[in-house]
Amino acid sequence: MDSTRVSNELGARRPKGTILAGRVAMGMVATEGAIAAIIIIISRRLWGYCYSTDEVVVGYLSQILFLLAIVHIFDGIQSIFSGITRGCGRQKDGAFINLGAYYFVGIPMAIFLAFFQGIGGKGLWMGIMVAVFLQSLFLGILILCTNWDKEVDKAADRISRSMPENVLK
């Protein structure tokens, strides 16, 4: 949704509308993320009893769900930032950020924590959490450093290059 809205605003030559679309999407995902995280954290022990009555299993799942609540917040943020990046036509930049966050940092960290530090499933989720955080951070930096007036010009150039000449006359 946000990538379509951002690209539409850029194509309409409205840089302020682009910024507003991003802010609205960010506000919505922040609200949803906070509500969902609170619900997950408050009910984390209840979820364990849906699968087992063993206190060890319930306790372990309770710890995993706390990590999941944090991941959920950052995953929402990165999804908005990824959409804004796609809407700007900067998929390559987003792909490099994703590659670095997951394959160079997150997955190696998850393997290290889970298997070499003996943390197990929590270590896998911690690695994912770090990857999603880094992805959100670097996409956020990319967006904050964006000159939206130049993005409008780039979008107009892409539109004019993709149209046959007789349509523009």
134 is written with which tokens? 């880094």
Q: What is the pTM of this model?
A: 0.87
103 is written with which tokens? 């394959």
Q: For 80-133, write each residue's pLDDT tens digit.
A: 999 999 988 899 999 999 999 999 999 999 999 999 999 999 999 999 999 999
Alpha-carbon dihedral angle through residues 117, 118, 119, 125, given to the nearest 10 degrees: 80
| Distance, CA of 71 to CA of 85 (rounded, Å) | 20
Amino acid, single-letter form, for residue 79:
S
The answer to whether residue 169 scores a pLDDT higher than 70 is no
Alpha helix (H) ranges present in 52-120? 55-87, 91-99, 107-111
| pLDDT bracket for residue 168 (50, 70, 90) | low
Q: Residue 12: what are its φ and ψ, rounded to 5°?
A: -85, 5
